[in-house]
Amino acid sequence: MKLATLKNGRKDGRLVVVSRDLQRAVAADDIAPSMLDAIERWSDTAPHLAARYEALNAGTAAGAFDFDPAAAAAPLPRAPQWCDGSAFLNHGRLMEKAFNIDPIPDSDKVPLMYQGGSDDLLGPHDDLPLPDVAHGIDFEGEFGVVVDSVPMGCSATAARSRILLLVQINDVSLRAFGPREMRTGFGFFQAKPSSSFAPVAVTPDEIGDAWKDSRVHLDLAVDYNGRWFGEPNGREMNFGFDELIAHAAVTRRLSAGTLIGSGTVSNAGGAKGSACIAERRAIELIEQGASATPFMRFGDRVRMEARWNDRPVFGAIDQRIVQAPPAQA
């Protein structure tokens, strides 16, 4: 099943069901007015949404229309929580080697995770307004999951049944803020502005055997200013989403609609490129003695898309960096 949220002037938007090929859609706000409401009542809403999805793919859904990803908000324009992991250890190890950073103790046993802002999540074609290019603007291609309610102390095994939907993410980073914020011990804040999402959230069965071991075994193709940047595969997560969910729930309950991110998709060896500029800069520093790729400037554009059997899965993120307007007094 594939679901999206269309902008309608309200924060939570309008829930629609999207066809398997992402070409058609049909309203579902009679089943649930918003994605979050559908997730909070998933046992009630999912069968009705699935029936409408089958009708849409069969061409029998009344009121179907062409799906326009540019009209889409993030599948969840706001979420109860946004918890982002760093589950690809290759990414962290490259940073440690390039910048002579001491390894984080037990990082191969205990997942790294920060809690980001979840009140203003951006759509796939929204411009990314940011105040200053001196902040080191970077994109980060990720996969993520949307969960049902998760009890405190949930095991990784039990967490697998709590995964409702898969999403694709651009977790924007401002690299100039990162070093100081990490040294404080309080984690990221200014370094993490609003994240962006591909237009469509999908149930795991939509990617067949590419959903395995609680990992998304898909290439994430990243183009930067119209040129290939990388296509790392999600299979090399050192911690699966089940383990990330269990880690997040050690001392708290997770509300239905909580988003859990994989962290930057990263593969060993370098042949598949990178999903963020910082990683490419680290590789350049290791191999050439200096970083050559600059961070993003206003007007730069990034595109991210995952495909399964040569078919689009989530749709594409395709966004431009723009200067934020001055703050109102």
User: Is residue 54 domain-resident?
Assistant: yes
Q: What is the pTM of this model?
A: 0.96
Q: How many domains does the chain have?
A: 2
The proportion of the chain whose per-residue pLDDT surpasses 90, expressed as a percent, equals 90
What is the per-residue pLDDT across 20-72, written as a single tens digit (0 to 9) for each? Answer: 999 999 999 999 999 999 999 999 999 999 999 999 999 999 999 999 999 99
CA-to-CA dists, residue 158 to 88, 165, 208, angstroms: 22, 16, 21
What pLDDT shows up at residue 241?
Answer: 98
Alpha-carbon distance of 302 to 228, in angstroms, equals 10
Angle, CA 63 vertex, CA 21 and CA 1 arms, to 5°: 35
Give 101's pLDDT tier (boundaries 50, 70, 90). confident
Looking at the fold, whether 22 and 150 belong to one and the same domain comes out as no
User: Is residue 76 domain-resident?
Assistant: no
What pLDDT shows up at residue 14?
Answer: 98
**Whether pLDDT at 194 is above 90:** yes
Average pLDDT over residues 254-278: 96
The answer to whether residues 48 and 27 touch, using CB atoms and an 8 Å cutoff, is no
**Whether pLDDT at 223 is above 90:** yes
Looking at the fold, whether 8 and 129 belong to one and the same domain comes out as no
What pLDDT shows up at residue 182?
Answer: 82
Lowest mean pLDDT among 19-23, 272-276, 316-320, 323-327: 323-327
Helix axes 89-99, 277-288, angle to 10 degrees: 50
Looking at the fold, whether 111 and 234 belong to one and the same domain comes out as yes
Using the Cα atoms of residue 216, residue 210, residue 238 and residue 157 in order, give the sign of their dihedral: positive
Beta-sheet pairing, 259-261 with 14-18: unpaired
| Cα 118 from chain centroid (whole Å) | 12
Looking at the fold, whether 101 and 62 belong to one and the same domain comes out as no
Looking at the fold, whether 59 and 141 belong to one and the same domain comes out as no
The proportion of the chain whose per-residue pLDDT surpasses 70, expressed as a percent, equals 100
Average pLDDT over residues 281-290: 94
What pLDDT shows up at residue 52?
Answer: 98
User: Is residue 328 domain-resident?
Assistant: no
What pLDDT shows up at residue 329?
Answer: 64
Looking at the fold, whether 101 and 213 belong to one and the same domain comes out as yes
What pLDDT shows up at residue 83?
Answer: 97
What pLDDT shows up at residue 326?
Answer: 86
Looking at the fold, whether 22 and 116 belong to one and the same domain comes out as no
Average pLDDT over residues 153-170: 98
What pLDDT shows up at residue 285?
Answer: 93
Average pLDDT over residues 104-127: 94
The answer to whether residues 17 and 1 touch, using CB atoms and an 8 Å cutoff, is yes
Looking at the fold, whether 194 and 214 belong to one and the same domain comes out as yes
Final residue of a domain: which of 25, 44, 71? 71
Domain span at residue 12 reads 2-71
Alpha-carbon distance of 17 to 292, in angstroms, equals 44
Looking at the fold, whether 10 and 141 belong to one and the same domain comes out as no
User: Is residue 48 domain-resident?
Assistant: yes
**Whether pLDDT at 299 is above 70:** yes
What is the per-residue pLDDT across 13-34, written as a single tens digit (0 to 9) for each? Answer: 999 999 999 999 999 999 999 9
Task: Write down the mean pLDDT value for the chain.
Answer: 96
Average pLDDT over residues 283-300: 96
- Output the CA torsion 150→261→318→28 (10° steps): -10
CATH assignment of the domain containing 215: 3.90.850.10
Looking at the fold, whether 63 and 90 belong to one and the same domain comes out as no
The answer to whether residues 249 and 152 touch, using CB atoms and an 8 Å cutoff, is yes
